[in-house]
Chains A and B, each alone.
Chain A
């Protein structure tokens, strides 16, 4: 039963393919059963300088599970022209004493807008985390994949002035994909966590880097 559940989880993860850094970073050891709600604020570099908020809900399940919704937007003068939302879950799939194995699966919807184009993208983000968790601190490694599965392009008149026959519409197969891997750590006190995660981002060809090939996020969780 356990094996079939893990296989099911793995296949879900595989089908969804996988975004990066800003899902809630939790100290699973200090998360108590009665703490059903987790709210998060965070800031850092996630492709661009970005800040976000998140909400997590701990489910009453055999495998400890937190479903979550996150909203992130990059810095800039225009609010809400670019943003990323994620809805998904993270599951503590296995535990050996203080060593925890966590799988995160999230659906991603993101928007991008500049003077040339507006992009709407549906994507996925899958990651695995292995870490050592104690009641007041944790340290873990993560590896994940952020996939831009299908993207809608709508170009402005400005871009059409250069290229009048540009084709708007849904673009498929996937328009982008980035792997990320790094470390996460946190300090817990009372019902609060201060978390830090940092790592490297590389395009799916494992040869090409984004302009800033790193991510860094500082977060604060409040559990209640």
Chain B
């Protein structure tokens, strides 16, 4: 009896001690664990498009053909694709933007995301930077960005002069899901997977708690760079901030609507350049042939000595850039 009371008193004291800690930092405040977004930090470069403030930059002569860079994710940012600035020295106006709710762009509630907004945002970015109606527009999309590029081409087949597509998981949602399943083959007893899962008892956030969820997503994404990940990445790619809510929203939207972005591709007769990497065990030639076959005309290209991050590291970039440039120059 006495012992129980003492024990309970000790616990009560411990509880009071912990609840009495001086309030210091909050995980909910942007700027603590994740950077502020363009609407919170006006010093960041931004454009206002389709009701959203997007983190964006452009390089090169404004009247040169536009090359719009579409990052992966959904929910990553364009920092890992900044090698593409090199096209600005080769006669292209290179435009980078963080997609809605991703990177350093403005955040929106989970329930606000639609497929239509994806198209409207990209069209808004093109219109923002386009200086004349005759200026050609090219898209370069990596992973999810290549799916977005295809979705846009499928919707507006006459607006785009050419596209470079680097390892889109699929161009129909069924193919995307199959690809995602393959990329998530982690050892169930391995460090990477359990690092992702064990963390979930330390940090939790509501569905629209952007700062918390983005930080968690960043820790989660570190597993994809591990040596036992099947995507064959050379290392950790640089990011500013992940967009967890936009990721969740688009994945859930995909699962609900099961989109097929290939229904009008037969109208896009321009050759597309389709890149896959030697070290991505989840992709490979067979999957590249299968996915790209939705396009009438395809130039398949294998980046040697690189994985899914083939555009981010020097070896992959050096092995891919000349072929991309020659493709773009041919259509310029």
Given A163-B35, A167-B25 in contact, is the A210-B194 Cβ separation under 8 Å? Answer: no
Q: Evaluate contact between B202 and A205: CB separation under 8 angstroms.
A: no
- Of residues 147 to 162 in A, which have CB atoms within 8 Å of B's CB atoms? 148-151, 153, 158-159, 161-162
Question: In whole angstroms, what is the CA distance A82 to B200 when docked?
Answer: 12
Judge whether A176 and B190 touch: CB under 8 Å: no
Contact B204 A176 (CB under 8 A): yes
Shortest distance between the CB of B196 and any CB in chain A (Å): 7
| C-alpha gap A159/B195 in the complex (Å) | 16
Does B11 contact A153, Cβ atoms closer than 8 Å?
A: no
Within 8 A of B (CB), among A45-78: 47-50, 59-63, 65, 67, 74-78
Q: How far is the CB of B199 from chain A (nearest CB, A)?
A: 6
Cβ-defined contact, B24 with A170, below 8 A: yes
Q: With A110-B202, A162-B239, A167-B33 in contact, do A78 and B191 touch (Cβ < 8 Å)?
A: yes
Neighbouring B residues of A59 by C-beta, 8 Å: 3-4, 7
Complexed CA–CA distance, A42 and B270 (Å): 61
Contact in complex: A212, B189 (CB < 8 Å):
no
With contacts A49-B188, A175-B203, A177-B204 taken as known, whether A12 is within 8 angstroms of B12 at the C-beta atoms is yes
What is the distance, in angstroms, from A217's C-beta to the closest C-beta of chain B? 15
Contact A119 B204 (CB under 8 A): no
Contact digits for B9-45, partner A, Cβ 8 Å, 1 yes 0 no: 0011011101101011111000111110000000000
The answer to whether A61 and B4 touch across the interface, beta carbons within 8 angstroms, is yes
Instruction: Please encode chain B, from 41 to 67, with 1 for each CB lying within 8 Å of some chain A CB and 0 for all others.
Output: 000000000000000000000000000
Q: Contact check, B202 vs A119: say whether CB atoms are below 8 A apart.
A: yes
Instruction: Check if B15 sits within 8 Å of A12, measured CB to CB.
Output: yes
Decide if B331 is an interface residue (CB 8 Å cutoff). Answer: no
Could you tell me the distance in whole angstroms from the C-beta of A54 to the nearest C-beta in chain B?
Answer: 17
Q: Does B271 contact A (CB under 8 A)?
A: no
User: Is B201 in contact with A49, judged by CB distance below 8 angstroms?
Assistant: no
Contact of A171 with B197 in the complex, beta carbons under 8 Å: no
| CB neighbours of A211 from chain B (8 A) | 196-197, 200
Q: Among B194, B200, B202, B203, which residue has the most Cβ atoms of chain A within 10 A?
A: B202
Q: Count the B residues whose beta carbon is within 8 Å of the partner chain — how many?
A: 51
Bitwise interface map of B from 200 to 237 toward A, beta carbon under 8 Å scored 1, else 0 = 11111111000000000011001000000000000010
| B275 is an interface residue with CB less than 8 A from chain A | no
B202 touches A16 (CB 8 A): no
A205 near B207 with CB under 8 A, answer yes
A13 vs chain B, min Cβ distance (A): 9
Q: Please measure, in the bound complex, the distance between the C-alpha atom of A129 and the C-alpha atom of B23, giving whole angstroms.
A: 34
User: In the bound complex, do residue B198 and residue A48 qualify as a contact, i.e. CB atoms below 8 Å apart?
Assistant: yes
| Contact residues in A for B12 (Cβ distance below 8 Å) | 11-12, 15
Known: A77-B191, A173-B26. A47 touches B16 (CB 8 A): no
Residues of A within 8 A of B23 (CB): 172-173
Given A15-B15, A119-B202, verify A210-B25 contact (CB < 8 Å): no
Using A163-B240, A205-B206 as known contacts, say yes or no to A16 and B15 having CB atoms under 8 A apart: yes
Q: Which of B26, B191, B199 has the most CB of A within 10 A?
A: B199
Which residues does chain A contribute within 8 Å of B26, judged by CB atoms?
Answer: 171-173
Q: Which residues on A sit within 8 Å (CB–CB) of B14?
A: 16, 107
A162 CA to B222 CA, complexed, in Å: 12
Give A208 to B245 CA distance when docked, in angstroms: 12
- B204: shortest Cβ distance to chain A, in Å? 4
Q: Is B285 an interface residue (CB 8 A)?
A: no
A15-B16, A162-B239, A211-B197 given as contacts; is B7 within 8 A of A172 (CB)? no
Task: Kindly report which residue of chain A lies nearest to residue B197, judged by CB atoms.
Answer: A48
Known contacts A16-B14, A163-B35; A117 and B4 CB within 8 A of each other: no
A19: Cβ under 8 A from any B Cβ: yes
Report chain A residues within 8 Å CB of B3: 59-61, 65
Q: How far is the CA of A17 from the CA of B236 in the complex (A)?
A: 38
B82 CB contacts on chain A under 8 angstroms:
none
Q: Verify if B238 is at the interface (C-beta below 8 Å from A).
A: yes
Distance from A70 Cβ to chain B, minimum over Cβ atoms (Å): 14
Does B286 lie at the interface of the complex (its beta carbon under 8 Å from any beta carbon of A)?
Answer: no
Given the known inter-chain contacts A65-B7, A148-B201, please indicate yes or no for A117 contacting B24, CB distance below 8 A.
no
Task: Scan A186-205; emit 1 where CB is below 8 A from any B CB, else 0.
Answer: 00000000000000000111
Q: Tell me if B193 counts as interface (CB < 8 A to partner A).
A: yes
A59-B3, A76-B190 known; A166+B197 contact, CB < 8 A: no
Q: Determine how close the nearest CB of chain A comes to the CB of B264; give it in whole angstroms.
A: 36
8 contacts between A and B (CB under 8 A): A82-B198, A91-B4, A112-B195, A114-B222, A148-B201, A151-B27, A163-B240, A167-B33
Nearest 4 pairs of A and B residues by beta carbon = A76-B191, A48-B197, A48-B194, A176-B204
Chain B residues in the interface with A (C-beta under 8 A) = 1, 3-5, 7-8, 11-12, 14-16, 18-19, 21, 23-27, 31-35, 188-191, 193-207, 218-219, 222, 236, 238-241
